């Protein structure tokens, strides 16, 4: 068990000699929100590419990471705990790590933003400002961060439909200003509905929960219908990895894909894998963005990448759940 050390409000772990050797081959990549759903898969993708990862999350629960990393891979990660809304702690941590690249994923989701808007604003807006400010001060070369499809206008107001979307749109403007005033390159990626093992919270986690239910022979009702981009988490992690290897100028924002699917398409993909699945969907329509999807900036930066179809993504997710729960 690695030794845990506390400096102010920042925690980190000592590593063994062989783990330190790996770090000589690359500058550290700081991943915030590293124990979350997307964060865990991004960390795993970086580790599998032999990158030196500094993983930051205030949540000490690393169960998602352990679902996608082998023990020796997990042991190679430097873990830090820090409240990103605390300006001084963020500055101290980033000055210590001195990353060349930051993948900023830490954020509170839609339910938390509804329940506690002030806390969500502190994390999702002030936290992002703190990350960008500290990155500027230590000369970070690039920041890749999660915006969201929720930042896009929709409905009669032609604006984000909830505070989460408002905060994510604000984050895009923060990135733009830091580039215009300080020359800090950034790429804001707008996931829509990302699914896969580990997606167990957030409003659109229902897609992953439906696949889990099919894998475990359980009943489940997806509580909405919608037409949106359904993005398999392994492909999303590949995109973040490829962006971390690229260089560009400006503050870019991009969707991950332009291909849309419906909840009925999700059910069809599930039933193609598990014909006797007991998964259905309600008729409650969930509003979707009404403007065109555009991932041209992403393609310009990273080129093309292997795509995962909804049918294959559902199959891989169901197989992964079955493996985790001994249902193979």
Q: Tens digits of per-residue pLDDT, 297-321?
A: 999 999 999 999 999 999 999 999 9
- In this prediction the pTM is 0.90
Using the structure block, give the residue that is written with the tokens 């560009």: 248
**39: part of which helix (H) or strand (E)?**
helix 37-48
Q: CB of 118 within 8 A of CB of 77? A: no
Measured distance CA(124)–CA(173) in Å, rounded: 13
Measured distance CA(65)–CA(71) in Å, rounded: 10
**pLDDT tens per residue, range 160-206:** 989 999 999 999 999 999 999 999 999 999 999 999 999 998 889 99
Measured distance CA(189)–CA(5) in Å, rounded: 34
Measured distance CA(184)–CA(179) in Å, rounded: 4
Cβ-based neighbour number of residue 191 at 10 Å: 20
**pLDDT tens per residue, range 117-169:** 999 999 999 999 999 999 999 999 999 999 999 998 887 888 898 999 999 99
Nearest partner of 138 among 83, 80, 95, judged by Cα: 95
pLDDT of residue 61: 86
Measured distance CA(39)–CA(42) in Å, rounded: 5
pLDDT of residue 19: 53
Cβ-based neighbour number of residue 14 at 10 Å: 11
Beta strands in 153-307 (DSSP E): 186-190, 193-195, 219-222, 227-228, 230-232, 251-255, 261-262, 278-281
In this structure, the dihedral spanned by the alpha carbons of residues 231, 327, 46 and 165, taken in order and rounded to 10 degrees, is 30
In terms of DSSP bridges, do strands 142-146 and 186-190 run parallel, antiparallel, or are they unpaired? parallel
Measured distance CA(314)–CA(63) in Å, rounded: 21
What is the pLDDT confidence band of residue 6, given thresholds at 50, 70 and 90? very low
Structural domain boundaries of the chain? Answer: 9-191+233-256+287-305
| Assigned CATH topology for domain 9-191+233-256+287-305 | Rossmann fold (3.40.50)
Q: CB of 231 within 8 A of CB of 192? A: yes
What is the pLDDT confidence band of residue 3, given thresholds at 50, 70 and 90? very low
- Range in 1-10, 35-44, 315-324 with the lowest mean pLDDT: 1-10
What is the pLDDT confidence band of residue 207, given thresholds at 50, 70 and 90? very high
pLDDT of residue 323: 95
Cβ neighbours for 33, distance < 8 A, ≥ 6 positions apart = 39, 56, 57, 104, 105, 106, 107, 146
């Amino acid at each position: 068990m690695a030794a845990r050390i506390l400096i102010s409000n920042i925690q980190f772990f000592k590593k063994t000699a062989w783990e330190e050797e790996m770090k000589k081959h690359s500058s550290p990549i700081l991943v915030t929100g590293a124990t979350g759903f997307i964060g865990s898969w991004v960390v795993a993708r970086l580790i599998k590419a032999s990158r030196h990862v500094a993983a930051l999350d205030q949540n000490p629960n690393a169960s998602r990471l352990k679902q996608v990393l082998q023990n020796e891979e997990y042991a190679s990660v430097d873990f830090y705990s820090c409240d990103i809304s605390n300006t001084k702690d963020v500055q101290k941590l980033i000055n210590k790590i001195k990353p060349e690249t930051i993948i900023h994923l830490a954020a509170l989701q839609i339910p938390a933003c509804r329940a506690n808007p002030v806390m969500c604003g502190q994390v999702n807006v002030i936290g992002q400002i703190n990350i960008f400010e500290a990155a500027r001060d230590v000369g970070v070369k690039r920041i890749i961060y999660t915006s969201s499809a929720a930042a896009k206008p929709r409905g009669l107001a032609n604006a984000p439909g909830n505070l989460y979307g408002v905060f994510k749109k604000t984050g895009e403007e923060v990135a733009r200003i830091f580039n215009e005033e300080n020359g800090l390159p950034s790429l804001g990626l707008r996931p829509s509905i990302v699914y896969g093992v580990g997606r167990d919270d957030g409003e659109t986690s229902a897609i992953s929960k439906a696949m889990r239910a099919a894998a475990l022979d359980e009943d489940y009702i997806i509580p909405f219908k919608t037409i949106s981009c359904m993005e398999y988490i392994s492909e999303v992690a590949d995109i973040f990895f490829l962006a971390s290897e690229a260089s560009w100028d400006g503050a870019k924002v991009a969707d991950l894909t332009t291909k849309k699917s419906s909840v009925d398409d999700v059910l069809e993909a599930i039933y193609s894998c598990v014909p006797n699945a007991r998964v259905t969907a309600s008729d409650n329509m969930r509003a979707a963005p009404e403007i065109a999807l555009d991932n041209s900036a992403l393609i310009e930066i990273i080129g093309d990448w292997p795509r995962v179809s909804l049918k294959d993504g559902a199959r891989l997710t169901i197989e992964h759940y079955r493996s985790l729960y001994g249902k193979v």
